[in-house]
Amino acid sequence: MNKIKQLWKEIYGTSSDDKLQDFISEIETVKQEISIAPNEAEWYKDVTVYSIYVDLFNKNFQGLENKLDYLQELGVSCLWLLPILDSPGRDAGFDIKDYRKVRPDLLDFKPQDEVFDAFLEKAHQKGIKVLFDIAINHTSEEHPWFMESKKSKENAYRDYYIWEKDDKKYEDARIIFYGIEESNWKKEGDEYFFHRFFDFQPDLNYRNAQVLIQMTRNFLFWLKKGVDGFRADAIPYLWKEEGTDCENLPQTHNIVKFFRAVIDYVRPNTLLLAEACQKPKEVVKYFGN
């Protein structure tokens, strides 16, 4: 727990200590509620990983469950599920509109606990670990947070995203989809919101400590269900700082370390894999804890 507190201080100083204290109580509660055993140490070094789009492999989770024997015969011991969380699907599922719901079509439009939870249990019974993709730098513009954020400048979710009166801030941040996107800013009403990817994927504002808490809660939600790991998409862009290219900043590393520390405290040996499409000298900084 000391590591969690220290990382929080390195990110936010002491300005949000009250929020941290309340959140620590939540973390303790989740830790007590988890009844499943922790994973084996460094299990990821010895598994054979099979990466799939569930719908393209066999339609939905029921179809995937029906193929578990086949996958086991192939020697598969870990399934990496490409985006499964609820999404409009404008960016292959990396535009998430609900972090705690699986896409309804992958559930055959049945209750999530009846389908996904059952699949997860069956996979574990066969010795197969399960991890999935989660985009945490941005959301879909259809996410309830953003839907609320754009309604007014005074509501509680406004600061979940980055809003400015013009499009001049963060001029040193490259346009990742150059040729498709003209700018990292999109006008909404009389202000602009910031996005590093498509303009329907507004970037989250991790300067707001509540955003870090909410995203950590999403990890905790899936940990309680027994998910064995996460591939976190677009990690290098989490923190924005004027006068920089807004990539690989120290605060970004501390945010990832914060996720890692909370996960380790609640369910040790859960995999957290950071996607960092960067130069090798930057990539190596994401290894370890």
26, 233, 245, 282: the catalytic one is: 233
Active site residue 188: no
Rounding to the nearest 10 degrees, give the CA dihedral for residues 226, 229, 231, 236. 110
The one-letter amino acid code at 262 reads V
Using alpha carbons, select from 250, 247, 255 the residue that is nearest to residue 136.
Answer: 255
- Do residues 91 and 180 lie in contact, with contact meaning Cβ atoms separated by under 8 Å? no
**Angle ∠(266,268,273) on CA atoms, nearest 5:** 105
* Residue 285, token pair as written in the block: 């900084």
Q: Show Cβ contacts of residue 114 under 8 Å, excluding neighbours closer than 6 positions.
A: 107
For residues 193 and 191, give the distance between their C-alpha atoms in angstroms, rounded to a whole number.
7
Give the strand order in the sheet containing 163-164: 163-164, 191-194, 185-188
* Residue 67, token pair as written in the block: 């193929």
- Do residues 103 and 115 lie in contact, with contact meaning Cβ atoms separated by under 8 Å? no
Output phi, psi for 111, to 5 deg: -60, 140
* Residue 99, token pair as written in the block: 């972090």
Active site residue 203: no
- Do residues 52 and 74 lie in contact, with contact meaning Cβ atoms separated by under 8 Å? no
Neighbours of 3 (CB within 10 A): 15
The one-letter amino acid code at 48 reads T
For residues 124 and 85, give the distance between their C-alpha atoms in angstroms, rounded to a whole number.
20
17, 91, 264, 275: the catalytic one is: 275
Active-site residues, by number, are: 233, 275
